[in-house]
Chains A and B, each alone.
Chain A
Amino acid sequence: MMMLTTVRRFALQSYLSYRGLFLWLTPVSYVSNVVLRPVLAVMMFGFLAQYAIDEETARVYAVGLAGYSVGRIIAGGVMQSLYRDAAFGTLAAVYASPVNRGMLYFSRCILHVPNAALVAVSVLVSAAVFLDLGFAQVDWGGLVAAFAVMTFSTMLFSLFVATLILLSGTNWANWIIILDGLLLSLTGIIIPTAELPAVLFEIGQMLPVTHGLDGLREAFAGGPSSGYWPDLAREAVLGLGYGVVGLALFRVAEIQAKRRGVLARAG
């Protein structure tokens, strides 16, 4: 009974904080970010690859862009949510309440999962339409698992970055630009990670999407499950690590806010 109440409370916090803090929920913003942006990315990179290289490369890019778009929509949503909780002054209510911090922290990301699913579908469908991407070989179980794991890792990574935003008192809009660039250039979406300089390669290994994308490509090509599970496991462990460190930092951010008085106002 108590467990059920806790789950219902978590669901309520997830739903209401999502409605209150995710400002891309207006029809225009939502369609732009969840449908149009991913489709336009497929068109831009896909047609560029077709024109400059070949059609097969364009399809490889398209699968990569599906991973990138999932990471991007999750990062944008989760980061703005936690940032706005502080900006709206509602985080003070959390800090003055007895709510379980871990539960609250993770409630900020869970409802972004459907957006990730919708983005993945948008990319794959548009790639099928514009780039003639075929699905005959696909290991559908592996594909779904790859998207699920990338969604998991980017959610926890985004919470971790959002906590850094809280700690630094900076604006999420600046961080999403940097994160966008890192995901696009270092995770193997366009440029194979093996071709990156050593330092950038190592950075890429620490980012979400990188390992998940390797697994996604394996599953998409219909390779054996032993080919993608190790990559997906690495991706999941990385996400879990960011989740644990992020939660610890969230507690640090609370203590720091109370020490430095950044939540206080004059009077």
Chain B
Amino acid sequence: MTDGYAIECDELRRVFRSRRLTGQVEEVVALDSLSLQVQPGEVYGVLGPNGAGKTTAIRIFSTLLIPTAGSAYVMGHDVVKAAGEVRRRIGLILGGERGLYERLTGRQNLQYFASLYLMSPRRGAERADAALEDVGLTHAADRRVEQYSRGMRQRLHVARGLLPDPDVIFMDEPTIGLDPEAAQDFRRLVPELRERGKTVLLTTHYMLEADVLCERIAVIDHGRLVALDTPEGLKRRFGQGQVTEATLRAATPGLADRLRALRGVTAIESDMEGAAQRVKVYADAGRDIASGLRNLAGTDAIQSVVTREPSLEEAYLSLIRESSAGE
């Protein structure tokens, strides 16, 4: 282990045990033999449905949770045996409403958290100001956090994670609750961090975010790694065939059934948007679905039609469906 990787784990397993009122012990396997390696300076995404084990993995890497079995290292340090060394090198950004002192201002919160990273009060104040600027919260720095919106709190979480200027940053759903503008600002920040040599491990439910930011993406489900590739690689491998999207000026009864009968069509989605009908046709690669659609609905009825490769979201959904079917 620790062959120069920034983050790595081998056969990592975490089981949560809880006792029911009847005395029975219930076990939930959150991570099941997870192995992964992240290169220094890489932005690495972890995708998976709720309960897949993403947060559990981040908690283990950030020394907040002890694994049941297996090993995990950050910058070459064992997260259990050398937890102190790990903590000096990481920043942690957790999503959600908790984790901040409501009655303190944003600046005071950051000054406090800086002190946890052994910074002198003066250095902490400087880092707090820089982090507030990084996340665009300077204008609200002296306002109590209880007056912050959800998006502002999330930005403060991000600032907190950047405070110690860490080598490795763990981001657990960092854009949750952010408005589109703030989310875009955040997405600009991640490449900047990579340019500064930081390693980022990011979990998210926003596929666009993973697609744009991550060099490689691990998809985990039921605590196991089910796929690992670049965003393009995942789309190529798991995004089945091609997708043809069309908007029809009005509803065309029976169109979905007739499209389903076309050769090479694997699935159809159809919904109404006002008076217009939107149709999404999944088909084997190379099929000319657009022509078939024009024949069936009539050229005049079609407002727009486009054929494209599947998105990361479509590849991800296909992968998760496959993984669940194999359970």
* A267 contacts B50, C-beta separation under 8 Å: yes
Q: Which of A9, A88, A104 is within 8 Å of B99, CB to CB?
A: A88
Residues of A127-180 contacting chain B, CB below 8 A: none
Q: State whether A99 and B118 are in contact (beta carbons under 8 Å apart), knowing that A88-B101, A264-B59 are contacts in the complex.
A: yes
Of B52, B55, B88, B118, the most chain A CB neighbours within 10 A belong to B118
Q: What 1/0 flags go to B68-100 for Cβ under 8 Å of A?
A: 000000000000000010011010101010111
Count of A-B contacts judged by CB separation below 8 Å:
119
CB of A11, distance to nearest CB on chain B (Å): 8
* B65 contacts A264, C-beta separation under 8 Å: yes
CB of B51 closer than 8 Å to a CB of A: yes
A5 to B63, CA, bound (A): 26
* B65 contacts A90, C-beta separation under 8 Å: no
* A96 contacts B87, C-beta separation under 8 Å: yes
A9 to B90, CA, bound (A): 20
Q: What 1/0 flags go to A241-267 for Cβ under 8 Å of B?
A: 000000000000001001101011111
Which among A16-24, A41-49, A115-123, A220-228 touches the partner chain?
Answer: A16-24
User: How many residues of chain A get a CB closer than 8 Å to chain B's CBs?
Assistant: 33
| A residues in contact with B119, CB < 8 Å | 9
Q: State whether A9 and B115 are in contact (beta carbons under 8 Å apart), knowing that A89-B98, A92-B99 are contacts in the complex.
A: yes
A264 to B28, CA, bound (A): 13
A126 to B224, CA, bound (A): 67
Q: State whether A20 and B66 are in contact (beta carbons under 8 Å apart), knowing that A9-B120, A94-B116 are contacts in the complex.
A: no
* B113 contacts A93, C-beta separation under 8 Å: yes
| B residues in contact with A90, CB < 8 Å | 98-101
Q: Which of B14, B55, B203 is within 8 Å of A266, CB to CB?
A: B55
Q: State whether A19 and B103 are in contact (beta carbons under 8 Å apart), knowing that A12-B112, A13-B112 are contacts in the complex.
A: yes
CB of B242 closer than 8 Å to a CB of A: no
* A265 contacts B55, C-beta separation under 8 Å: yes
* A259 contacts B66, C-beta separation under 8 Å: yes
CB of B104 closer than 8 Å to a CB of A: yes
A259 to B54, CA, bound (A): 18
| B residues in contact with A21, CB < 8 Å | 101
CB of A76, distance to nearest CB on chain B (Å): 17
CB of A98 closer than 8 Å to a CB of B: yes
CB of B155 closer than 8 Å to a CB of A: no
| B residues in contact with A23, CB < 8 Å | 103
A133 to B96, CA, bound (A): 55
CB of B108, distance to nearest CB on chain A (Å): 6
* B124 contacts A12, C-beta separation under 8 Å: yes
| A residues in contact with B104, CB < 8 Å | 16, 19-20
CB of A21, distance to nearest CB on chain B (Å): 7
Q: State whether A93 and B55 are in contact (beta carbons under 8 Å apart), knowing that A12-B111, A98-B88, A258-B64 are contacts in the complex.
A: no
CB of B121 closer than 8 Å to a CB of A: yes
| B residues in contact with A104, CB < 8 Å | 116
B88 to chain A: closest residue by CB: A98
* A8 contacts B118, C-beta separation under 8 Å: no
A98 to B90, CA, bound (A): 10
* A8 contacts B121, C-beta separation under 8 Å: yes
| A residues in contact with B84, CB < 8 Å | 98
Q: What 1/0 flags go to A182-193 for Cβ under 8 Å of B?
A: 000000000000
Q: Which of B65, B100, B172 is within 8 Å of A261, CB to CB?
A: B65
B54 to chain A: closest residue by CB: A267
A41 to B228, CA, bound (A): 67
Q: State whether A13 and B115 are in contact (beta carbons under 8 Å apart), knowing that A89-B98, A90-B100 are contacts in the complex.
A: yes
CB of B98, distance to nearest CB on chain A (Å): 3
CB of A95 closer than 8 Å to a CB of B: yes
CB of A56, distance to nearest CB on chain B (Å): 45
Q: State whether A16 and B111 are in contact (beta carbons under 8 Å apart), knowing that A98-B118, A264-B55 are contacts in the complex.
A: yes
B124 to chain A: closest residue by CB: A12
Q: What 1/0 flags go to B151-172 for Cβ under 8 Å of A?
A: 0000000001000000000001
* A96 contacts B92, C-beta separation under 8 Å: yes
Q: Which of A20, A89, A94, A267 is within 8 Å of B56, CB to CB?
A: A267
CB of B147, distance to nearest CB on chain A (Å): 15
CB of B206 closer than 8 Å to a CB of A: no
B205 to chain A: closest residue by CB: A267
Q: What 1/0 flags go to A2-42 for Cβ under 8 Å of B?
A: 00010011001100110111010100000000000000000
CB of B62 closer than 8 Å to a CB of A: yes
| A residues in contact with B203, CB < 8 Å | 267
| Contact sample, A vs B, 18 pairs, CB 8 Å cutoff | A9-B120, A16-B108, A20-B101, A23-B103, A25-B103, A89-B99, A93-B116, A97-B117, A98-B84, A99-B118, A104-B116, A258-B63, A259-B66, A263-B65, A264-B65, A267-B51, A267-B56, A267-B203
18 more CB-based (< 8 A) A-B contacts, given A23-B103, A97-B117: A5-B121, A9-B120, A12-B121, A13-B116, A16-B101, A16-B111, A16-B112, A20-B103, A20-B109, A95-B63, A96-B87, A104-B116, A259-B66, A261-B56, A263-B59, A264-B59, A267-B52, A267-B173
Q: When A and B form their complex, which 5 residue pairs have the shortest distance between CB atoms, in order from nearest?
A: A89-B98, A20-B101, A267-B55, A97-B116, A16-B112
